[in-house]
C-alpha cells in the first residue's frame, strides 16, 4: 500500500463524517477527522478546476489537460491512489452566459465549439476502500473562472426543476436557470454532449452501483463555486430518482452560490439519505448571491480566512473565494472561539497555487501552478509547438 496522507480515522468514522447525524457536535469546534475528510473532497473539487485547459489560444481550450489514468497524480491530489477516475463529464449550455462560465477556444480547429470539460466520476480503488472504509463513488464538478468578476451580469431567473427534484410532488421546486441548463442540456449532433452532463453522471453512477452491488458503498458529490451549485442539483437528483439504491449520498460544497427557491430548500432538506455540508468563508460574496427568491440548503460550516496569520489582510474577493484558501481555512479554523491554528498539516504554499493570497514573507510566487512551459514543446526540428492535451489510452 502506498503512503496515505491526512486521512485520519475516516475508515472507522465515515458514516458520522459524511453526515449521518447532520454533523451534530462536529462543527464547533471542528472535529479534526472531519477537517481531513472535508479537505479530501475539497482536493478532488480543486482537481476539477486545476485540470481545466484555460488557454484560449489552444485548440483544446475548455477540455481537460490530462488523461483519466494519470489525472489525479498530475494535478497533485494528496492521495491519488485512493480513487480511479472512470468517466470525464462534459457539459454545454443553451442560455446566454458570461465568457468566464465556459472556456471557448479561439482556434479555428477547436476540439469543440459548444462543450466544456466539467469534472469527473471516480470510484475508490481496493486500496481506497480499505482506507476509506467503503467503496466510495465520487462526482467532482468543476468550478468557474473567477466567478466573482462576472456574477452580477448573470440572469438570476428561476426555472422549474420538478423532473429532478421529487418528481410528481405537489410543491414547485425551482432552481437557477443557468445552473440547470449546464446540468441538463444535450445535443444529438455533439460528439461530447449527445447525453447531458446529468445523464452522463446518472448512468455512470448506476453502472458503478451495479458493479459493486455486493459491497458497502457511498456516493459523495463535491464542487466549488459553479461546481458547488451543480453538485447540489446532482445530489438531490441522484436520491430523488433512486440512483443511490438507498446507499447514503453526501455533498461537500465550497463557496456555493444559492441554487433554488424555498420549495427547493424544503425538498432538499427533507430528502431521506441525503446530506449536504456547505462550507462558507465569511468574507466571500458568492455564497450570499443571488439574494431575492433563493434559500440556502443543507448544513453550514462557517470559516473565516481573515483569521489566518499566513494570508495577506484583508484579502480580496478573488482570494476570499479561492478553493485553496477555503481548504486552508478548514485546516485552521477555531470556530466561535476565534483565532487560527493549522490542526491539519497542509502546505501553506498551496494558497498561492492560483491566486496571490500568502504573505510575501513566505517567499512563494503567486499563481505558481502552470503546466511546464505552458504546454509548449520543442520539436526535433527545433521549433516550438503547443502540446497541451492527452488522449485517453
**pTM for this structure?**
0.94
Under 8 Å between Cβ of 329 and 305: yes
**Catalytic pick among 176, 224, 321, 354:** 321
Under 8 Å between Cβ of 121 and 137: yes
CATH superfamily of 10-21+34-307: Alpha/Beta hydrolase fold, catalytic domain (3.40.50.1820)
**Catalytic pick among 181, 225, 240, 250:** 225
Q: C-alpha cell of 239? A: 436520491
What pLDDT score does 4 carry? 52
Using a 10 angstrom Cβ sphere, with 0-12 exposed, 13-18 middle and 19 or more buried, the burial of residue 211 is middle
Catalytic residue list contains 328: no
Q: What is the pLDDT along the chain (393 residues), one digit of tens a residue?
A: 444 566 778 999 999 999 999 999 999 999 999 999 999 999 999 999 999 998 899 999 899 999 999 999 999 999 999 999 999 999 998 776 666 678 888 989 898 888 999 999 999 999 999 999 999 999 999 988 666 656 666 778 899 998 898 766 668 999 999 899 999 999 999 899 999 999 999 999 999 999 999 999 999 999 999 999 999 999 999 999 999 988 999 999 999 999 999 999 999 999 999 999 999 999 999 999 998 899 999 999 999 999 999 999 999 999 999 999 999 999 999 999 999 999 999 999 999 999 999 999 999 999 999 888 888 999 999 999 988 888 876
Q: C-alpha cell of 241? A: 430518482
DSSP SS3 for 83: strand
Could you tell me which residues come within 8 angstroms of residue 26 by beta carbon, excluding any fewer than 6 positions away?
A: 16, 17, 34
Under 8 Å between Cβ of 259 and 175: yes
**Catalytic pick among 33, 237, 284, 296:** 284
Catalytic residue list contains 199: no
Q: C-alpha cell of 168? A: 410528481
Catalytic residue list contains 63: no
The residue ranges of every structural domain in the chain are 10-21+34-307
What Rg do the C-alpha atoms of the chain give, in angstroms? 20
Amino acid at each position: 500500500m502506498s503512503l496515505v496522507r491526512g486521512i485520519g480515522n475516516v475508515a472507522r468514522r465515515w458514516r458520522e463524517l459524511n453526515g449521518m447525524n447532520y454533523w451534530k457536535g462536529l462543527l464547533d469546534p471542528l472535529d479534526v477527522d472531519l477537517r481531513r475528510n472535508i479537505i479530501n473532497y475539497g482536493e478532488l473539487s480543486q482537481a476539477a478546476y486545476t485540470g481545466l485547459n484555460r488557454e484560449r489560444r489552444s485548440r483544446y481550450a475548455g477540455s481537460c489537460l490530462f488523461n483519466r489514468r494519470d489525472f489525479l497524480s498530475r494535478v497533485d491530489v494528496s492521495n491519488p491512489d485512493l480513487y480511479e477516475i472512470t468517466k470525464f463529464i462534459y457539459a454545454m449550455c443553451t442560455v446566454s452566459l458570461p465568457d468566464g462560465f465556459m472556456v471557448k477556444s479561439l482556434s479555428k480547429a477547436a476540439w469543440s465549439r459548444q462543450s466544456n470539460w466539467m469534472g469527473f466520476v471516480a470510484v475508490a480503488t481496493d486500496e481506497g476502500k480499505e482506507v476509506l472504509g467503503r467503496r466510495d463513488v465520487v462526482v467532482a464538478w468543476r468550478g468557474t473562472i473567477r466567478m466573482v468578476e462576472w456574477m452580477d451580469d448573470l440572469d438570476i431567473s428561476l426555472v422549474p426543476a420538478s423532473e429532478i427534484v421529487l418528481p410528481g410532488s405537489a410543491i414547485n421546486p425551482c432552481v437557477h436557470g443557468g445552473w440547470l441548463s449546464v446540468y441538463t442540456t444535450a445535443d444529438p449532433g455533439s460528439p461530447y454532449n449527445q447525453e447531458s452532463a446529468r445523464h452522463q453522471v446518472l448512468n455512470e453512477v448506476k453502472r458503478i452501483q451495479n458493479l459493486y452491488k455486493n459491497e458497502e458503498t457511498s456516493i459523495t458529490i463535491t464542487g466549488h463555486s459553479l461546481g458547488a451549485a451543480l453538485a447540489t442539483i446532482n445530489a438531490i437528483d441522484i436520491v430523488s430518482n433512486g440512483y443511490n439504491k438507498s446507499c447514503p449520498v453526501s455533498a461537500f460544497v465550497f463557496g456555493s452560490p444559492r441554487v433554488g427557491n424555498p420549495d427547493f430548500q424544503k425538498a432538499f432538506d427533507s430528502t431521506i439519505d441525503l446530506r449536504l455540508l456547505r462550507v462558507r468563508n465569511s468574507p466571500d460574496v458568492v455564497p450570499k448571491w443571488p439574494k431575492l427568491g433563493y434559500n440556502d440548503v443543507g448544513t453550514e460550516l462557517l470559516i473565516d480566512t481573515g483569521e489566518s496569520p499566513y494570508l495577506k489582510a484583508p484579502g480580496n474577493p478573488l482570494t476570499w473565494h479561492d478553493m485553496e484558501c477555503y481548504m486552508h481555512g478548514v485546516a485552521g479554523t477555531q470556530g466561535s472561539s476565534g483565532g487560527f491554528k493549522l490542526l491539519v498539516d497542509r502546505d501553506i504554499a498551496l494558497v498561492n497555487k492560483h491566486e496571490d493570497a500568502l504573505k510575501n514573507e513566505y517567499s512563494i510566487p503567486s499563481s505558481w501552478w502552470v503546466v511546464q512551459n505552458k504546454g509548449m514543446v520543442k520539436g526535433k526540428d527545433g521549433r516550438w509547438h503547443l502540446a497541451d492535451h492527452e488522449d485517453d489510452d
